[in-house]
Copies of this chain bind each other. A is one copy, B any other.
Amino acid sequence: MRISRFFMPVLRDAPSEAEIVSHRLMLRAGMIRQSSSGIYSWLPMGLKVLNNISQIVREEQDKAGAVELLMPTIQSADLWRESERYEAYGAEMLRIKDRHGREMLYGPTNEELITTLFRDGAHSYRDVPCTLYHVQWKFRDEIRPRFGVMRGREFLMKDAYSFDLTKEDAKKSFNRMFVAYLRTFERLGLTAIPMQAETGPIGGDLSYEFIILAKTGESEVFCHKDLLDLKAPENVNYDSDLEPVMAPWLEKYAATEDVHDADRFASEVPRDKQISARGIEVGQVFLFGDKYNEPMKCAVQGPDGKLTTLQSGSYGIGVSRLVGAIIEASHDEAGIIWPQSIAPFKIGLLNLKVGDKDTDAACESLYEQLQSMGQTVLYDDSKERAGGKFKTMDLIGLPWQIIAGPRSVKAGKVELKNRASGEATELGLDEVINFFVTKSTDSPSTGTGRKSTES
């Protein structure tokens, strides 16, 4: 993409409305604009990141055997009366009357709707286990939206719902999602710790929140320090028993403040391993059995011929919130540092003297070659001065920068800079192409998990 044909309105100064660094950087980098309180437009740069995150979330859902569908945003109030949540949900639910005066709502979650879909579509024990998910915009009418996309009102969420014949099978479906979440967050470059949590308005017996530690987190959390060093499992066989895979996370203490047990924490966790910090919730898993299936009569014929009420859980990932959370975890004073896996473009190509024939030719050639290799490149072909181009490129945080000025191009060279480490090397024009052929895809030094230096 050429910047001259893109739409990326960067801001030099931090907007006063933004209280936290991710919100400031998303506004400055031209990723989002607020259109109403807690409601954002995703500008092209922001949308690319949002899509890249969604893609990883989907891939891991699919691997775990979940099947994607798409439920609408607007639901009928009557549906929520079946589960008795319509009155209970409170003012966060955006309630609507249509032109005929029928009561509708903008879905904050989808347990009721998926339950009717599965109830009407499944008839036999052969139709389970089944886990369905969608990635759809939700609305929660927060009384005080803040922190940009971290606590917005209209937000993108992946929510999955499992249906099983027995409690034991339901736990297996729960485990598959639990492990898929470990893998998802690791691929996003995040250390997200599953912590025991309250079940809240979703309900049920068992719930974990997946939490990223960050100063700007909305709640306090407590956990064993070793949990920060665990690595997500690879090559998971989702048909196997996953309890051993999950064990390292479940053996050590981790709890949100709502369910925190100070005595257990003190006795189970050595003092030098006790972490008490702020956390950002990026996902939550619930096992709630027949809470919705019983009142909504979601049942199938069992192998014994008897009608059997199904057992369920639900599993959410805050996709739009993750954009902010990842920036909170990966930035420096100059701007964002994108993990490769979700970077909007992998390479930023800076032409320091647009109009200079040799520099233009070198840049055009690099741009064409890199793109034909399947690399994503943002080519700064604008008339801005070099200083501004450097600042913009650091701000938007692409993993690699290729810097082409007239002097270096005359010597057949360009500069290759790693945004995360700041390391820069002079390379020949062919060398820089070769670098991206052979090295870059899985380079370990490209910007994930870097500590922030801005407070």
Point out residues on A near B: beta carbons under 8 Å: 1, 4-7, 9, 30, 33, 35-37, 39-44, 46-47, 50, 65, 67-76, 79, 91-92, 94, 96, 98-99, 102, 104, 106, 113, 116-118, 120-122, 126-127, 130, 132, 137, 139, 141, 143, 153-154, 382-383
Contacts and interface: CB of A to CB of B under 8 A. Distances in A.
Contacts of A139: 74
Contacts of A73: 73, 137, 154
Count the copies.
2
B43 A69 contact: yes
4 nearest CB pairs, A to B:
A9-B121, A42-B70, A36-B76, A41-B71
Contacts of A106: 74, 96, 106
Given A35-B76, A35-B117, 8 more contacts: A7-B132, A35-B72, A36-B104, A41-B117, A42-B70, A47-B68, A74-B139, A94-B98
Given A72-B40, A74-B39, A74-B106, A67 B5 contact: yes
Contacts of A47: 68-70
A4 B113 contact: no
Contacts of A43: 69, 117, 121
Contact of A33 (B1, B9, B102, B120): B120
A94 to B, nearest CB: 7
A101 to B, nearest CB: 11
B94 A7 contact: no
Contacts of A116: 35
A76 to B, nearest CB: 4
Contacts of A35: 71-72, 75-76, 79, 113, 116-117
A114 to B, nearest CB: 9
A345 to B, nearest CB: 13
B72 A50 contact: no
A130 B9 CA distance: 13
B44 A74 contact: no
A15 to B, nearest CB: 11
A337 B222 CA distance: 57
A43 B122 CA distance: 13
Contacts of A143: 99
Residue among A72, A122, A137, A153 with the highest chain B CB neighbour number at 10 A: A72
Residue among A1, A5, A50, A122 with the highest chain B CB neighbour number at 10 A: A5
Given A30-B121, A141-B99, A67 B44 contact: yes
A44 B141 CA distance: 29
Contacts of A41: 69-72, 113, 117
Residue among A1, A42, A70, A143 with the highest chain B CB neighbour number at 10 A: A70
Contacts of A70: 41-42, 47, 50
A39 B130 CA distance: 24
A69 B41 CA distance: 8
A50 B121 CA distance: 20
A104 B106 CA distance: 12
A274 to B, nearest CB: 39
Contacts of A79: 35
A36 B35 CA distance: 28
A132 B33 CA distance: 15
10 contacts: A9-B120, A36-B102, A39-B75, A40-B72, A46-B69, A47-B68, A47-B70, A94-B99, A99-B141, A126-B382
Contacts of A69: 7, 41-44, 46-47
A383 to B, nearest CB: 7
A30 B69 CA distance: 11
A383 B126 contact: yes
A94 B76 CA distance: 14
